[in-house]
Amino acid sequence: MAERREEIEGKLSDATAPSSLANGTPKGANTRHGDQDTRPPQNGLKSPQRFSFSAEPTMEDIRRLQAEFTDERDWNQFHQPRNLLLAMVGEVGEVSELFQWRGEVAEGLPGWTEAEREQLSHELSDVLIYLLELAEKCRVDLPQAVLKKMALNRLKYPASKVHGSAKKYTEYQD
Protein backbone atom coordinates (compact mmCIF):
# COMPACT_ATOMS: atom_id res chain seq x y z
CA MET A 1 0.00 0.00 0.00
CA ALA A 2 2.79 2.41 0.90
CA GLU A 3 4.51 1.41 -2.32
CA ARG A 4 1.41 2.34 -4.33
CA ARG A 5 1.16 5.68 -2.53
CA GLU A 6 4.80 6.46 -3.34
CA GLU A 7 4.13 5.59 -6.97
CA ILE A 8 1.18 7.98 -7.12
CA GLU A 9 3.02 10.76 -5.31
CA GLY A 10 5.98 10.30 -7.63
CA LYS A 11 3.73 10.83 -10.61
CA LEU A 12 2.16 13.85 -8.98
CA SER A 13 5.55 15.49 -8.75
CA ASP A 14 6.27 15.01 -12.44
CA ALA A 15 5.31 18.35 -13.92
CA THR A 16 6.04 17.38 -17.48
CA ALA A 17 4.15 14.12 -17.88
CA PRO A 18 0.46 14.57 -17.14
CA SER A 19 -0.36 11.43 -19.11
CA SER A 20 2.03 9.27 -17.13
CA LEU A 21 -0.76 7.22 -15.54
CA ALA A 22 -1.18 4.78 -18.40
CA ASN A 23 -4.45 3.38 -17.15
CA GLY A 24 -6.07 6.64 -16.08
CA THR A 25 -6.78 6.93 -12.39
CA PRO A 26 -4.94 4.73 -9.93
CA LYS A 27 -6.75 1.74 -8.49
CA GLY A 28 -6.20 -0.37 -5.44
CA ALA A 29 -4.61 2.40 -3.42
CA ASN A 30 -4.42 2.74 0.27
CA THR A 31 -7.20 2.22 2.80
CA ARG A 32 -10.78 1.34 3.48
CA HIS A 33 -13.40 4.05 3.58
CA GLY A 34 -13.09 6.37 6.52
CA ASP A 35 -9.84 4.97 7.83
CA GLN A 36 -7.61 7.31 9.73
CA ASP A 37 -4.19 7.40 8.13
CA THR A 38 -1.57 6.98 10.82
CA ARG A 39 1.37 8.04 8.66
CA PRO A 40 3.58 10.67 10.28
CA PRO A 41 2.65 14.22 9.19
CA GLN A 42 4.24 15.32 5.94
CA ASN A 43 4.91 18.62 4.23
CA GLY A 44 4.92 20.45 7.52
CA LEU A 45 1.28 19.73 8.30
CA LYS A 46 0.77 19.35 12.00
CA SER A 47 -2.33 17.15 11.98
CA PRO A 48 -1.48 14.00 13.96
CA GLN A 49 -3.84 11.89 11.85
CA ARG A 50 -4.70 12.23 8.19
CA PHE A 51 -7.98 11.05 6.76
CA SER A 52 -7.91 9.12 3.51
CA PHE A 53 -10.51 8.08 0.95
CA SER A 54 -11.38 4.66 -0.35
CA ALA A 55 -9.49 3.74 -3.52
CA GLU A 56 -12.73 3.26 -5.41
CA PRO A 57 -14.84 4.37 -7.09
CA THR A 58 -12.50 6.32 -9.34
CA MET A 59 -13.49 9.57 -11.04
CA GLU A 60 -14.10 7.57 -14.21
CA ASP A 61 -16.33 5.12 -12.31
CA ILE A 62 -18.43 8.03 -11.01
CA ARG A 63 -18.55 9.69 -14.45
CA ARG A 64 -19.78 6.44 -16.00
CA LEU A 65 -22.37 5.78 -13.28
CA GLN A 66 -23.74 9.30 -13.62
CA ALA A 67 -23.80 8.97 -17.43
CA GLU A 68 -25.86 5.79 -17.03
CA PHE A 69 -28.18 7.54 -14.57
CA THR A 70 -28.65 10.44 -16.99
CA ASP A 71 -29.12 8.21 -20.06
CA GLU A 72 -31.74 6.08 -18.31
CA ARG A 73 -33.81 9.23 -17.67
CA ASP A 74 -33.23 10.92 -21.02
CA TRP A 75 -31.79 13.91 -19.16
CA ASN A 76 -28.88 14.63 -21.47
CA GLN A 77 -31.14 17.11 -23.23
CA PHE A 78 -30.94 19.24 -20.04
CA HIS A 79 -27.33 18.56 -19.08
CA GLN A 80 -25.47 21.10 -21.18
CA PRO A 81 -22.32 22.61 -19.65
CA ARG A 82 -23.93 25.85 -18.46
CA ASN A 83 -26.81 24.02 -16.80
CA LEU A 84 -24.42 21.63 -15.10
CA LEU A 85 -22.32 24.53 -13.86
CA LEU A 86 -25.37 26.25 -12.38
CA ALA A 87 -26.52 22.99 -10.81
CA MET A 88 -23.10 22.50 -9.25
CA VAL A 89 -23.07 26.04 -7.85
CA GLY A 90 -26.51 25.37 -6.37
CA GLU A 91 -25.14 22.29 -4.65
CA VAL A 92 -22.18 24.30 -3.31
CA GLY A 93 -24.84 26.56 -1.80
CA GLU A 94 -26.39 23.53 -0.11
CA VAL A 95 -23.00 22.66 1.38
CA SER A 96 -22.61 26.25 2.54
CA GLU A 97 -26.00 26.12 4.22
CA LEU A 98 -24.77 23.35 6.51
CA PHE A 99 -21.90 25.54 7.72
CA GLN A 100 -23.91 28.73 7.91
CA TRP A 101 -24.11 30.49 11.32
CA ARG A 102 -21.85 28.00 13.04
CA GLY A 103 -18.75 30.17 13.23
CA GLU A 104 -15.43 28.44 12.61
CA VAL A 105 -15.65 24.66 12.38
CA ALA A 106 -12.69 22.49 13.33
CA GLU A 107 -11.34 19.65 11.24
CA GLY A 108 -13.28 16.46 11.86
CA LEU A 109 -16.44 18.47 12.61
CA PRO A 110 -16.54 17.91 16.38
CA GLY A 111 -20.05 18.35 17.76
CA TRP A 112 -21.80 17.57 14.47
CA THR A 113 -24.52 14.93 14.68
CA GLU A 114 -24.50 11.82 12.53
CA ALA A 115 -27.49 13.23 10.62
CA GLU A 116 -25.58 16.44 9.88
CA ARG A 117 -22.54 14.49 8.73
CA GLU A 118 -24.73 12.34 6.51
CA GLN A 119 -26.35 15.43 4.99
CA LEU A 120 -22.92 16.92 4.33
CA SER A 121 -21.82 13.72 2.60
CA HIS A 122 -24.87 13.96 0.36
CA GLU A 123 -24.29 17.57 -0.61
CA LEU A 124 -20.56 17.13 -1.21
CA SER A 125 -21.41 14.16 -3.40
CA ASP A 126 -23.87 16.27 -5.39
CA VAL A 127 -21.11 18.82 -6.00
CA LEU A 128 -18.69 16.13 -7.14
CA ILE A 129 -21.21 14.41 -9.41
CA TYR A 130 -22.01 17.66 -11.20
CA LEU A 131 -18.33 18.62 -11.36
CA LEU A 132 -17.44 15.33 -13.04
CA GLU A 133 -20.34 15.54 -15.45
CA LEU A 134 -19.42 19.14 -16.27
CA ALA A 135 -15.85 18.05 -16.98
CA GLU A 136 -17.12 15.22 -19.17
CA LYS A 137 -19.38 17.52 -21.18
CA CYS A 138 -16.50 20.00 -21.57
CA ARG A 139 -14.16 17.17 -22.63
CA VAL A 140 -11.80 17.74 -19.73
CA ASP A 141 -10.09 14.52 -18.63
CA LEU A 142 -10.24 15.51 -15.00
CA PRO A 143 -7.99 12.83 -13.44
CA GLN A 144 -5.16 13.87 -15.76
CA ALA A 145 -6.01 17.56 -15.60
CA VAL A 146 -5.80 17.56 -11.81
CA LEU A 147 -2.35 15.97 -11.88
CA LYS A 148 -1.15 18.61 -14.31
CA LYS A 149 -2.66 21.44 -12.24
CA MET A 150 -1.13 20.15 -9.02
CA ALA A 151 2.25 20.02 -10.72
CA LEU A 152 1.77 23.63 -11.80
CA ASN A 153 0.80 24.56 -8.24
CA ARG A 154 4.03 23.02 -6.98
CA LEU A 155 5.98 25.18 -9.37
CA LYS A 156 3.96 28.26 -8.46
CA TYR A 157 4.28 27.69 -4.73
CA PRO A 158 7.71 26.14 -4.06
CA ALA A 159 7.68 24.71 -0.53
CA SER A 160 11.06 26.29 0.14
CA LYS A 161 9.61 29.73 -0.49
CA VAL A 162 6.11 29.53 0.93
CA HIS A 163 6.43 27.13 3.86
CA GLY A 164 4.08 28.34 6.59
CA SER A 165 3.00 31.39 4.58
CA ALA A 166 -0.46 32.16 3.24
CA LYS A 167 0.79 34.90 0.91
CA LYS A 168 -0.34 34.89 -2.70
CA TYR A 169 2.36 33.91 -5.19
CA THR A 170 2.58 37.49 -6.48
CA GLU A 171 3.87 38.58 -3.07
CA TYR A 172 6.99 36.44 -3.05
CA GLN A 173 7.89 35.96 -6.72
CA ASP A 174 11.33 37.20 -7.74
Chain residues binding Mg ion by CB under 5 A are 91, 94, 123, 126
In the complex, the smallest distance separating the C-beta of residue 94 from Mg ion, rounded to whole angstroms, is: 4
Q: Which is nearer to Mg ion, 91 or 136 (CB)?
A: 91
In the complex, the smallest distance separating the C-beta of residue 38 from Mg ion, rounded to whole angstroms, is: 33
∠ CA 144-150-153, rounded to 5°: 145
Q: Which is nearer to Mg ion, 130 or 151 (CB)?
A: 130
Q: Which is nearer to Mg ion, 123 or 141 (CB)?
A: 123
In the complex, the smallest distance separating the C-beta of residue 132 from Mg ion, rounded to whole angstroms, is: 15
Q: Which of 21, 19, 26 is nearest to 4 (CA)?
A: 26
Three-class DSSP category at 168: coil
Q: Which is nearer to Mg ion, 91 or 133 (CB)?
A: 91
- 164: alpha, beta or left? (left if phi > 0; alpha if psi -120 to 50): left
Terminal Cα distance for the chain, rounded = 40
Distance from C-alpha of 97 to C-alpha of 2, rounded to nearest angstrom:
37
CB atoms under 10 Å from CB of 142, counted, come to: 18
Distance from C-alpha of 33 to C-alpha of 135, rounded to nearest angstrom:
25
In the complex, the smallest distance separating the C-beta of residue 91 from Mg ion, rounded to whole angstroms, is: 5
Q: Which is nearer to Mg ion, 133 or 147 (CB)?
A: 133
In the complex, the smallest distance separating the C-beta of residue 115 from Mg ion, rounded to whole angstroms, is: 15
Cβ contact 127:88 at 8 Å: yes
Cβ-closest residue to Mg ion? Answer: 126
